[in-house]
Amino acid sequence: MKRTITAQEMAKDLRNDPYANWSEEGAKTMAEYLLEFEADCGTEMEWDIAAVRADYQEYESACKACRDLGLGERGQSAEKAMELLESHTWVHEIGNSGRVIVANY
């Protein structure tokens, strides 16, 4: 049996995941990205919150993501941090919040 869920339901699941720390805007952005990815691929995906947790992480900034991932130098600009992230993995800015979603590698 399959059940189709909405972006809102996916975002709610992400926000309620006790093993992750998604902001409201980050969870919404991630859910919308996954639905767009599914549509672009033309294949139906199964909703697996544990897989999303393993594959993606939200950071308060590109600089914080770089520090946690051991990329670049301390005190680098946000622009340089984004360049480094983009050269190593998939990264998506969350609106104008400064927060980013990064694919774990």
Break the chain into its structural domains and give their ranges.
7-103
Q: Identify the H or E element spanning 7.
A: helix 7-16
With cut-offs at 50, 70 and 90, classify the pLDDT of residue 58: very high
Bridge-based pairing state of the strands 91-93 and 56-59: unpaired
Whether residue 1 is predicted with pLDDT greater than 80 in this model: the reply is no
What pLDDT score was predicted for residue 72?
82
49's tokens: 């919150």
pTM for the predicted model, two decimal places: 0.89
